[in-house]
């Protein structure tokens, strides 16, 4: 059963809320401070966080920002009193899923929580499902991923522009390696406070510095037996780089302020969109650490260099957008497909996914059209007759595949066309 963490500095209200969730079939635990929540998250699997807006010296927004910086992506709900509603609205703007006026013990709130848990489960399935690329640069990358994934002793440095899917590649490596049943912990090094990076990665002991009121588990311990992914690793300060290099070489590390060393049983994957060779020449990145991370380099290509994958990827993202948003959009019309291929995609895969999700929200028809995507490309609209013909053809193909359980030979027979013709049409519509 998935765990819900209640974060509330009023012990009575925290206990009452946790008991209410338990009575409604959920596994609920509670903590009384943001620091206790961070400790709990470091040592337990949590499906959803239900946090009060006011938490003594901290507030729910600060806890949320800390969680996002440390790779925690579970749903986050804010409980708020009437006077704190403006702050709760601000929390939603910064990434909270919703805010709940107190008292929260209502059927409506139960519905919100259950819906978020179901959505999280769908996202998890999506993360574990990887689109199989067709373009030569992406195919070469996937071949390299399959080769390096089982070789647990190699550190991998994933390089590529922002939005190309470096974390996606890291998750593929984790899924295909022998540690796939253990945690995958993603850390955005660019979001870590530079002066606290070492304590966040390796943890710290009580009294190590001002504010260290109790022991803190770091990311290395959270990823124990699994995979630690350091995104934008070039942002780590020099002191932390030294500690990271030693941990990788010795497979041991010492929490900040601690005396005893702990074993580092992790697979390290790192990523960057920075020119690390330039950073080395400027003295911002250690050359020895670079060579240790760069044992097996992978380059993630730009989306514009993988044009064969643009339409199939858009279809892939549309499937999950439909599922998450409760829509039934059938596909992209001819003009949208032309626009997708004509656009340069400076934001790469991340931008494509965002465009598809936004279009799925905006679309009033069964099909996504030019008015739903707003891309700065000059595409001459096709005539409605051709659009209608293609939509009917695509619907017939999808229906035939559904009827035959995706048996393409049987689907071609049902449609009255040859298999080679069906394959060409599947490629045309991004369904191959």
Q: What is the CATH number of the domain that holds 291?
A: 3.40.50.300
Same domain (yes/no): 182, 106: no
* Domain that residue 92 falls in: 3-127
Q: Which residues contact 155 (CB under 8 A, 6 or more apart)?
A: 248, 268, 269, 270, 292, 293, 294, 295, 296
148 lies in the same domain as 284: yes
Residue 1: per-residue pLDDT: 66
**pTM of this prediction?**
0.68
pLDDT of residue 203: 85
CB 95 within 8 A of CB 297: no
pLDDT attached to residue 393: 82
CATH classification at residue 333: 1.10.8.60
**Angle at alpha carbon of residue 47, lines to 199 and 39, rounded to 5°:** 25
Q: Tens digits of per-residue pLDDT, 291-336?
A: 999 999 999 999 999 999 999 999 999 988 998 888 989 889 889 9
Query: Do 121 and 150 lie in a common domain?
Result: no
Torsional sign, CA 66, 71, 72, 78? positive
Q: Does one domain contain both 320 and 289?
A: no
Domain count, the chain: 4
Bridge-partner residues for 296, per DSSP? Answer: 156
* pLDDT of the residue at 427: 80
Co-location of 336 and 427 in the same domain: no
Same-domain status, 338 and 264: no
154 and 72 share one domain = no
Peptide bond just before 23 cis, omega within 30 deg: no
Strands 3-7 and 331-332: unpaired
Q: CB of 72 within 8 A of CB of 27?
A: no
- Which regions of the chain are under pLDDT 70? 1, 71, 82-84, 122-130, 385, 432
Together in a domain, 321 and 263: no
CATH at residue 22: 3.40.50.2300
Structure tokens at 156: 């991998």
pLDDT at 82: 66
């Amino acid at each position: 059963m998935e765990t819900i963490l209640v974060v509330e500095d009023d012990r009575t209200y925290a206990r009452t809320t946790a008991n209410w969730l338990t009575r409604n079939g959920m596994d609920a635990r509670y903590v009384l401070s943001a620091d206790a929540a961070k400790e709990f998250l470091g040592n337990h699997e949590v499906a959803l966080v239900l946090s009060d807006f006011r938490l003594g010296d901290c507030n729910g927004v600060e806890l949320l920002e800390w969680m996002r910086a440390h790779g925690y992506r579970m749903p986050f709900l804010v409980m708020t009193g009437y006077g704190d509603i403006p702050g709760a609205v601000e929390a939603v703007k910064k990434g909270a899923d919703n805010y709940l006026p107190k008292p929260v013990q209502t059927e409506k709130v139960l519905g919100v929580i259950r819906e978020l848990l179901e959505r999280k489960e769908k996202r998890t399935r999506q993360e574990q499902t990887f689109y199989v690329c067709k373009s030569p640069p992406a195919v070469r990358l996937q071949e390299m991923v399959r080769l390096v994934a089982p070789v647990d002793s190699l550190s991998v440095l994933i390089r590529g522009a922002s939005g190309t899917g470096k974390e996606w590649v890291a998750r593929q490596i984790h899924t295909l390696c022998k540690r796939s049943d253990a945690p995958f912990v993603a850390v955005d090094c660019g979001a870590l406070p530079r002066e606290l990076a070492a304590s966040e990665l390796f943890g710290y002991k009580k009294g190590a510095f001002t504010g260290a009121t109790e022991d803190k588990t770091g990311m290395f311990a959270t990823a124990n037996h699994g995979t630690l992914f350091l995104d934008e690793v070039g942002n780590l300060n020099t002191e932390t780089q030294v500690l990271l290099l030693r941990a990788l070489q010795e497979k041991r590390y010492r929490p900040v302020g601690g005396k005893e060393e702990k074993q580092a049983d992790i697979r390290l994957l790192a990523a960057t969109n920075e020119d690390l060779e330039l950073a080395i020449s400027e003295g911002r990145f250690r050359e020895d650490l670079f060579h240790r991370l760069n044992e097996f380099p992978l380059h993630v290509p730009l989306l514009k260099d993988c044009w064969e994958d643009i339409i199939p990827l858009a279809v892939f993202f549309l499937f999950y957008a439909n599922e998450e948003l409760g829509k039934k959009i059938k596909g992209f019309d001819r003009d949208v497909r032309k626009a997708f291929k004509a656009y340069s995609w400076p934001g790469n895969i991340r931008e494509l996914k965002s465009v598809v999700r936004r279009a799925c929200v905006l679309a009033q028809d069964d099909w996504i059209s030019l008015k739903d995507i707003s891309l700065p490309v000059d595409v001459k609209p096709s005539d409605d007759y051709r659009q209608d013909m293609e939509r009917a053809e695509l619907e017939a193909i999808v229906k035939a595949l559904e009827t035959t359980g995706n048996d393409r030979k049987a689907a071609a027979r049902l449609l009255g066309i040859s298999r080679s013709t069906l394959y060409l049409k599947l490629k045309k519509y991004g369904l191959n």
